[in-house]
Amino acid sequence: MKKENRDRILIFGSSGHTGVVIDIVERESKFDILGLIDPHRDPNEEFMGYKVIGNEEELQEIVLTHDVKGGIIAIGDNWLRKTVRDKILQNCPDFRFLACIHPSAQIGKDVAIGKGTVVMPGVSVNSGCVVHEHCILNTNSSLDHDSVMGDFSSLAPGATLGGNVGVGNFSVVSMGANVIHGKEIGEHSLIGAGSLVNKNVGDCSVWYGVPAKFVRRRQPGERYL
Ligand SMILES: CC(C)(COP(=O)(O)OP(=O)(O)OC[C@H]1O[C@@H](n2cnc3c(N)ncnc32)[C@H](O)[C@@H]1OP(=O)(O)O)[C@@H](O)C(=O)NCCC(=O)NCCS
């Protein structure tokens, strides 16, 4: 059977998280993956059936040569994803970032999903939610109605947010954590795995436990994975 002509895109990264993103793009069948961009691998090295075809410095040339229509940064760490986004835009200011949504995800009415955001298998996003740019909604996580995720924020597998929850830019809700309806989590904060958040959480802090308690301050960009 003749393969239909689909727009070609690039995937940035080549980690386990990248593998999941590749799988989502393949299942969506909207784009063809031209190859991977990763400065930490040798050119032509293969990952999940795709070749590493260069690094961010070579991006402009790759985009023009192959008529690339956009790409997805498939890097799990929120801060690292932002540094790669900045590098891409330095080298290729008009580069277009794309969202990808696994076909098994349930996306409700009047939901906005920002560019560069990745929605994994089994995710539920109920009506009125806004998920801004370059977020990760990991496997089986859920956002109830009217919740908002800031740019570069993430939900780990199985994290559950009630209605009207806010998660600030770069913040992380770790595996299996629950956030009660109406609570606000500031920017650059981290909620530990398995926690129950029943109070507002400020910026740049680590909270965990049931119920979650403030544990310590945290700097923007501090590693957590
Ligand atoms: C919160 C987290 C970053 C660790 O924070 P930390 O302050 O560096 O904690 P440490 O590992 O130094 O542990 C300090 C203490 O807190 C406890 N602790 C750590 N995380 C905890 C959590 N989520 N809930 C309850 N207690 C926790 C540890 O058991 C340890 O207790 P101890 O002193 O009695 O031995 C980590 O536990 C976590 O939740 N990571 C996120 C995992 C995740 O979701 N990954 C996503 C994969 S896609």
**Atom of ligand 1 at shortest range from CA of 224:** 3
Tokens of 154: 């993430």
At which residue do the structure tokens 């997805």 appear? 72
Q: Label residue 5 by pLDDT band (50, 70, 90).
A: confident
Contact indicator for 153, 78 with CB cutoff of 8 Å:
yes
Q: How far is the CA of 55 from the centre of ligand 1 (A)?
A: 34
For the stretch 70-107, pLDDT in tens is 999 999 999 999 999 999 999 999 999 999 999 999 99
- How many residues belong to the chain? 225
To 10 degrees, what angle do helices 78-91 and 59-66 make?
70
Best residue among 120, 137, 141, 174 to mutate for probing ligand 1's pocket (most ligand atoms within 8 Å of CB) is: 174
* pLDDT at position 1 over 70: no
In whole angstroms, what is the distance from residue 167 CA to residue 174 CA? 12
Q: Is 196 in the pocket of ligand 1 (CB under 6 A)?
A: no
The percentage of the chain sitting over the pLDDT mark of 70, rounded to a whole number, equals 98
Tokens of 159: 């994290």
Q: How far is the CA of 152 from the centre of ligand 1 (A)?
A: 21
First to last CA, the chain: 43
Q: Is 210 in the pocket of ligand 1 (CB under 6 A)?
A: no
The pTM score is 0.96
For the stretch 48-75, pLDDT in tens is 999 999 999 999 999 999 999 999 999 9
* Structural domains present in the chain: 7-91 (3.40.50.20), 100-211 (2.160.10.10)
